[in-house]
Structure 1
Amino acid sequence: MKAPFPAEAFDPSLPQAEEALRAVLAHVPALRVEGINDASALDDWKPDLVVRLRVNDQPHLLICALKPSGQPRYARGALLELRRHVARHPPGATPVFIAPYISPAVRQLCSAERVSYLDLQGNTRIAFDGVFIERIVADKPQAEHRELKSLFRPKSAQVLRAMLREPDRAWRVSDLADVSGVSLGHVSNVRNGLLDREWARTSDDGLVLRAPAALLDAWRDSYTAPAGEQLRFYTPLHGSALEDAARDALRAPDAAGHAAFASFSAAQWLAPYGRTGTHYFYADETGLRALQAALKLAPAAKGENVSVVMPKDPALLTDTIEPAPGALCTSPVQTWLDLCIAGERGAEAADHLRQEKLSWSR
């Protein structure tokens, strides 16, 4: 069954929702749509659409709520109103939540609340009286991709990393802007994105992470390697000699430059799992020169054993942790993200690091 509307349809109207419903219901021979229309207000709430059906010649109603966003923050209230409305209705009514796009998390929420759903991307689950319609579309709409990507772009990521360093802290927007080094407006945008997805909540003291694990999962799924130049080198140093030389370079008192262990090399200090033959660093130009001198690096077209990334995002070089003197490492979150895209061995090391350093009870 083809999706009733293209992925770009992100400003739903009642005619769009009606057409989508008709397209879905038409695939069930036992159903006959007798009419779709607005409903009269009941108490303080009015359904957006009521679908009058015949199912094997028996009457049935679909009571529908249409929302411009399917994010959890908006879905939860709609589901509550639907359940309340249907509870007051005679038997033979099914609540249906309709939105432009309904994520897997909200689909689970709908199932838990016994509410059917339909989105304009084609995801559907409508169940009643022996009728069961279900369809899952693998792709997310482009608007959802763009919105989620924006939440993990460099400036937004600075805010997220600050919050994940202190996952139990309640943040005022101004404090979060100061700590993360981004504007108040940008922090507010991140705040809204977290609240919409219920990854954070508000308290009397400020914004608090509600589901840091879910936030990490989404970040991993959207993550790509940081933009920047990747350089490959060969060092004649090995073992403790290389390690000591690297630590001397990383703790050199040069305020103008930055360098840090990254990826597998950072993980060895944060949560040792398995060694690799290549050593990984992030560095700016001054930090690179310090590493070149300390590790006696020579450019290598092949057979390299040192990889240095010079990221365009300078915040990656200041969001660091020092588990031992001179062992300056990318933060646990950044190290974990880099391991997640480093192949099978990287995924195993990422799982171990997350269990050791990024596990929360919520």
Structure 2
Amino acid sequence: MNALVLDVTTALRHAGIAGVTREPTVAESYVPELRVRIDAGSGRHATYPAVVRLGRLDTRLATALDLPTVRPLLLLAPHISDAVGEVLRARGVDYADAAGNTRLAWDGLLIDVRGRPPRTSVPPRIADRTAARAFSRAGSMVTFALLSWTDLPSRPVREIAATCGVAVGTVHGVLHDLAAAGYLSDGAQGRALNRGGELLGRWAEAYTVTLARRLAIASFGIADLDRIPALEADLLGVGAQLGGELAASRLDAHLHPSTSTFYVDELPSTLVARYRLRPDEAGVVRFRSRFWHRPDDTGERVPSPLIYADLVSSGDPRQREHAERIRAVDDRLVELDRT
């Protein structure tokens, strides 16, 4: 991290910033990693809470990043492409990278530098090793289930494994790492989540990288969009559940979905044929794999943490805004934020 901060500081000075100074900050959850004072000369200066992200960023990860809510906020990274910069600007986040791409905006000052290629090859995303097993591909399935059902953390390990469709050993590893990181505690009623909102944010970011794309079964176009409500009714009738924007629109009336995502155990070939759906990677009808098994999970929507994660992993800042809206009103997400 120190090397990256030095590289970004050098790039800012080359861009004409008179001075960049690091200030100490308190190492706590949801608190930015450092504070950076930027002196633009002529008495113009600002102090930013700042976070550092090592490794490669794309638009999906930039949308999903679990960033502090404080604004202004400065993101430092090895390289920020124009597309990633657009996402960050939409999220109200200023940024600077080691190549000199910069967005700094405060009263009386705007620095906006784009299009510079990386100075060196950017390594893949570097994961936070805290509670690492909870955010691997299989571990993310376990963490999803623990976030989704209040009673599950206290249930026997074999029951948790059966719910997630993973090995018992995987569950043991996830529970150990979550407890060591302070996300899980033992009490009179058994295991319970701590800092659930923080865990949700970290899980949604990891889900974007490790799991989201692997759940895709197929996408289809439909000739007549007016038939989607009928398709939805038929899919619900055979046990499908709504996900993504479609599910979120039932929680937030301001959201008008542009895609229809359905979680299924297998592709409903009969309905695909009946509605004459045509394969299309960019199609509006999307089927995703339901990897969990919970007998009492019979609602029309997938669990709220997954709706939230699908929105923040979309790469669309508009969907990110809606994710935060449903986080403020959905009972389970509110409960997690209060733990």
TM-score, structure 1 as length reference: 0.52
Q: Distance in 1 between matches of 2:213 and 2:225?
A: 28
Q: Does 1:158 align with 2:141?
A: yes
Q: For residue 340 of structure 1, what is the aligned residue in structure 2?
A: 312
Question: Residue 359 of structure 1 aligns with which residue?
Answer: 334
Percent identity between matched residues is 22
Cα deviation for residue 245 of structure 1 reads 2.8
**Are the aligned partners of 1:264 and 1:276 in contact in 2 as well (CA < 8 Å)?**
yes
Task: Please give the residue correspondences for 1:1-362 in structure 2 after superposition, counting only pairs within 5 Å.
Answer: 2=2, 104-105=27-28, 138-139=52-53, 145-146=128-129, 148=131, 150-167=133-150, 171-174=154-157, 175-224=159-208, 225-229=212-216, 231-239=218-226, 241-252=227-238, 259-283=240-264, 285-287=266-268, 289-300=269-280, 304=283, 306-311=284-289, 314-315=290-291, 322-323=298-299, 328-342=300-314, 343-357=316-330, 358-360=333-335, 361-362=338-339
- Matched to 2:189, the amino acid is D
| Partner secondary structure for residue 315 of structure 1 | coil
Structure with bigger RCO (C-alpha 8 Å, 6+ apart): 2
Cα distance in 1 between the residues matched to 2:241 and 2:153: 29
Query: What's the CA shift string for 1:314-352, capped at 9, x where partnerless?
Result: 5158799554xxxx3322111110101221121122112
Is the 2:163–2:292 contact (alpha carbons within 8 Å) kept by the matching residues of 1?
no
Secondary structure of 2:261's counterpart equals strand
Change in Cα spacing, 1:259 to 1:233, as seen in structure 2 (3 Å) is same
Structure possessing the higher radius of gyration over alpha carbons: 1
Give unmatched runs, 5+ long, in structure 1: 4-101, 109-121, 125-134, 253-257
Equivalent pair of 1:273/1:352 in contact (CA under 8 Å): no
Check whether the contact 2:243–2:307 (CA below 8 A) recurs between aligned residues.
yes
Q: Do the aligned partners of 2:140 and 2:207 also contact (CA within 8 Å) in 1? A: no
* Structure 1 CA distance for aligned equivalents of residues 312 and 215 of structure 2: 18
1:185-224 Cα shifts (integer Å, max 9, x gaps) = 2222111211122112111332111111110011123231
Q: 1:294 to 1:260 in 2, by over 3 A?
A: farther
Q: From the superposition, tell whether residues 196 and 297 of structure 1 become closer, same or farther in structure 2 (CA, over 3 Å).
A: same
- On the 8 A contact 2:154/2:192 being kept in 1, the answer is yes
Distance in structure 1 (CA, Å) of the matches to 2:293 and 2:161: 18
**Number of equivalenced pairs:** 231
CA distance in 2, matches of 1:145, 1:235: 41
Q: What do you get for the CA RMSD once the two structures are aligned?
A: 4.1
TM-score, with length taken from structure 2: 0.55
Distance in 2 of aligned mates of 1:320 and 1:298: 33
What is the match of residue 91 of structure 1? none
Determine the C-alpha separation between the residues in 1 that align with 2:295 and 2:306: 8
User: In the TM superposition, what is the alpha-carbon distance from 1:170 to its structure 2 partner?
Assistant: 5.7
SS at match of 2:334: coil
Is the 8 Å Cα contact of residues 204 and 312 (structure 2) preserved in structure 1?
Answer: yes
